[in-house]
């Protein structure tokens, strides 16, 4: 294992920790918000509607609901599609737990699908195999939750073809993929419903927030109704269905309006950063940087590498830790999680290998030149 000379350590430890996905709220955002610090703006949902129409413009989906979180939006998506107790929902295994949790909120049964190796998106071949086997057992899945892993769309054509062929609606979990494209079409434009997150670590943030988008007006109307406690349109408070308090707070929507114009620039900065990593890793044969598919253009929300062996993996972990760089393994797949491992899964080993030998890399669009130099210095020691 690599040992860091004492004098190097003391000089680098003075630098600020380099985070994987740091919050990107700037003073101009604060300035924008300050213009709205009046009591009426705290409950003025016109800010939400303006934020929603801007998202609609970016994603090319005509109907959008802003929500309290991406998780809430995913939950609403399942509700709108009528997913109920005992239903089966197909979900990517290599994802953040929030993609799967709403399935259990509805007491439905997840079936986890492994990834293809190029982008770690859902493997369409395994997806089709799972559907065929479920059909043979007389089970028609109620939905497919397809995630653009780390912001990068994979083989969306195939997943959409499968959804159409078997008549299964697709929820596009584009939580990380605002500003990404597949075949020149924005991520979030494909599914029957798509979902975004504006959590603090995302490319655009409202502090905490999400959105549900669709070309189907009825879906978004229903989601809006459920997100507002399923309050019937009456003079008095009348409730016939179980609802939720999932609306985005208007002040968060104001922050979102300040942030959205920065999307393109941030995606370009992140693309540049990916290029920097590509150049650094291209001659290291035992490390693979996860890239795009031939049809996708990623926002490169986070960069990820997979090592061929534990020696290099461990060296990178100790170097990152010593030099004050945040270290995190890639997501532990859902089929390996104590909460989910008893549910059905279709595996090919890709996500388990990515978890065991993969690391996230610092990917903030505001990364400074000094921080880049530091990372370059570390990687050249591998
Ligand atoms: C793939 C994925 N799905 C869903 C979510 C949930 O979004 P939120 O944190 O806004 O609830 C996240 C992120 O946090 C995510 O990365």
Asked which of 261, 296, 329 is the last residue of a domain, the reply is 261
In a domain, 250, yes or no: yes
Quick: pLDDT tens for 272-313: 999 999 999 999 989 999 999 999 999 999 999 999 999 999
* Element of type H or E holding 297: strand 296-297
Counting atoms of ligand 1 from 1, which one is nearest the CA of 147? 1
Asked which of 261, 293, 310 is the last residue of a domain, the reply is 261
Query: CB under 6 Å to ligand 1: residues?
Result: 69-71, 95-96, 98-99, 147, 173, 175-176, 197, 199, 210
Q: How far apart are CA 248 and CA 170, in angstroms?
A: 24
Ligand 1 centroid from CA 195, angstroms: 9
Please report which confidence band the pLDDT of residue 216 belongs to, taking 50, 70 and 90 as the band edges: very high
**pLDDT greater than 90 at residue 1:** no
How many other C-beta atoms can be found within 10 angstroms of the C-beta atom of residue 230? Answer: 16
Please report which confidence band the pLDDT of residue 252 belongs to, taking 50, 70 and 90 as the band edges: very high
Please tell me whether residue 354 adopts helix, strand or coil conformation.
helix
Please report which confidence band the pLDDT of residue 5 belongs to, taking 50, 70 and 90 as the band edges: low
Asked which of 261, 288, 308 is the last residue of a domain, the reply is 261
What 8-state DSSP symbol labels residue 42? Answer: G
Backbone angles phi, psi at 303, to 5 degrees: -95, 150
Pocket probe mutation, ligand 1, options 66, 72, 176, max atoms within 8 Å of Cβ: 176
Token digits of residue 238:
């009348």
Beta-carbon contacts of residue 125 (< 8 Å; ≥ 6 apart)? 116
> What pLDDT is recorded for position 8?
53
Please report which confidence band the pLDDT of residue 2 belongs to, taking 50, 70 and 90 as the band edges: very low
Which residue segment(s) compose the domain that 270 sits in? 6-21+263-379
Q: How far apart are CA 105 and CA 326, in angstroms?
A: 32
> What pLDDT is recorded for position 382?
85
Counting atoms of ligand 1 from 1, which one is nearest the CA of 199? 10
| Mean pLDDT lowest among 1-5, 213-217, 232-236 | 1-5
Quick: pLDDT tens for 306-355: 999 999 999 999 999 999 999 999 999 999 999 999 999 999 999 999 99
Mean pLDDT of the chain: 95
Ligand 1 centroid from CA 11, angstroms: 36
- Regarding whether 282 and 181 lie in a shared domain, the answer is no
> What pLDDT is recorded for position 152?
98
Quickly tell me which residue has 């079936």 as its tokens: 111
Q: Are 361 and 52 in contact (CB under 8 A)?
A: no
Ligand 1 centroid from CA 68, angstroms: 11
Token digits of residue 281:
């890793």
At 336, which CATH number? 3.90.1150.10
């Amino acid at each position: 294992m690599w040992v860091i000379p004492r004098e190097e350590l003391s000089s680098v430890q003075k630098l600020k920790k380099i985070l994987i996905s740091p919050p990107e709220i700037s003073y101009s955002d604060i300035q924008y918000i300050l213009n709205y610090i009046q009591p009426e703006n705290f409950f003025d949902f016109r800010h939400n509607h303006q934020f929603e129409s801007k998202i609609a413009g970016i994603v090319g989906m005509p109907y959008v609901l802003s929500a309290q979180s991406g998780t809430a939006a995913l939950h609403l998506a399942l509700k709108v599609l009528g997913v109920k107790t005992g239903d089966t929902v197909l979900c990517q295994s290599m994802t953040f737990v929030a993609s799967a949790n709403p399935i259990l909120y509805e007491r439905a049964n997840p079936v986890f699908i492994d990834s293809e190796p190029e982008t770690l998106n859902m493997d369409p071949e395994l997806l089709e195999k799972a559907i065929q086997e479920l059909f043979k057992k007389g089970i028609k899945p109620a939905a497919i939750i397809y995630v653009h892993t780390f912001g990068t769309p994979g083989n969306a054509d195939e997943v959409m073809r499968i959804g159409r062929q078997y008549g299964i609606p697709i929820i596009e979990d584009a939580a990380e993929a605002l500003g990404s494209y597949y075949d020149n079409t924005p991520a979030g434009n494909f599914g029957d419903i798509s979902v975004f997150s504006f959590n603090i670590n995302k490319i655009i943030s409202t502090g905490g927030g999400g959105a549900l988008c669709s070309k189907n007006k009825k879906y978004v109307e229903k989601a809006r109704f459920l997100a507002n406690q399923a309050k019937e349109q009456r003079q008095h408070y009348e409730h016939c269905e179980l609802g939720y308090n999932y609306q985005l707070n208007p002040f968060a929507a104001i922050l979102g309006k300040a942030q959205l114009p920065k999307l393109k620039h941030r995606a370009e900065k992140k693309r540049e950063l990916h290029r920097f990593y590509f150049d650094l890793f291209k001659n290291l044969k035992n490390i693979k940087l996860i890239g795009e598919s031939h049809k996708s253009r990623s926002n490169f929300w986070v960069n990820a590498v997979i090592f061929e062996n534990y020696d290099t993996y461990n060296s990178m972990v100790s170097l990152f830790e010593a030099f004050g760089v945040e270290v995190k393994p890639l997501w532990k797949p859902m089929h390996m999680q104590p909460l989910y491992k008893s549910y059905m899964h279709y595996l090919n080993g890709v996500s388990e290998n990515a978890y065991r030998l993969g690391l996230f890399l610092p990917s903030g669009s505001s990364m400074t030149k000094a921080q880049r130099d530091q990372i370059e210095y570390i990687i050249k020691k591998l």
